Amino acid sequence: MTEGLNMGRDKDNMYKWRKQNQKRFEFYINRESDPEVLEWFELQPNKRQYLIDLIRKDMNEKKPVDEEN
């Protein structure tokens, strides 16, 4: 019986940790207007890492000149 009570507390802690440490984004890709984008994205084995890598690459390419030194 106490396992069930502890499990509820663990879930509460997990939700609290997620709220403090993570951010969730959701977006839609239109199957008709962007089929090639959807197909490419679905081929990626780790979609989260793929998006993070794209963002970091974009950040580095658009870094202001004074930050490069």
pLDDT digit string, tens, across residues 21-67: 999 999 999 999 999 999 999 999 999 999 999 999 999 999 887 66
Q: Is the pLDDT of residue 14 over 80?
A: yes
Tell the burial category of 38 from Cβ atoms under 10 Å away from its Cβ (0-12, 13-18, 19+): middle
Buried b (16+ CB within 10 A) or exposed e, 50-62: eeeeeeeeeeeee
**Domain locations along the chain:** 25-69
What is the reported pTM? 0.70
Say if CB 31 and CB 38 are below 8 A apart. yes
Q: Report the pLDDT value the prediction gives residue 5, as an integer from 0 to 100.
A: 60
Task: For tokens 């984004």, name the residue.
Answer: 25
Of residues 55 and 9, more confidently modeled:
55
Running DSSP on this structure, what letter comes out for residue 31? T
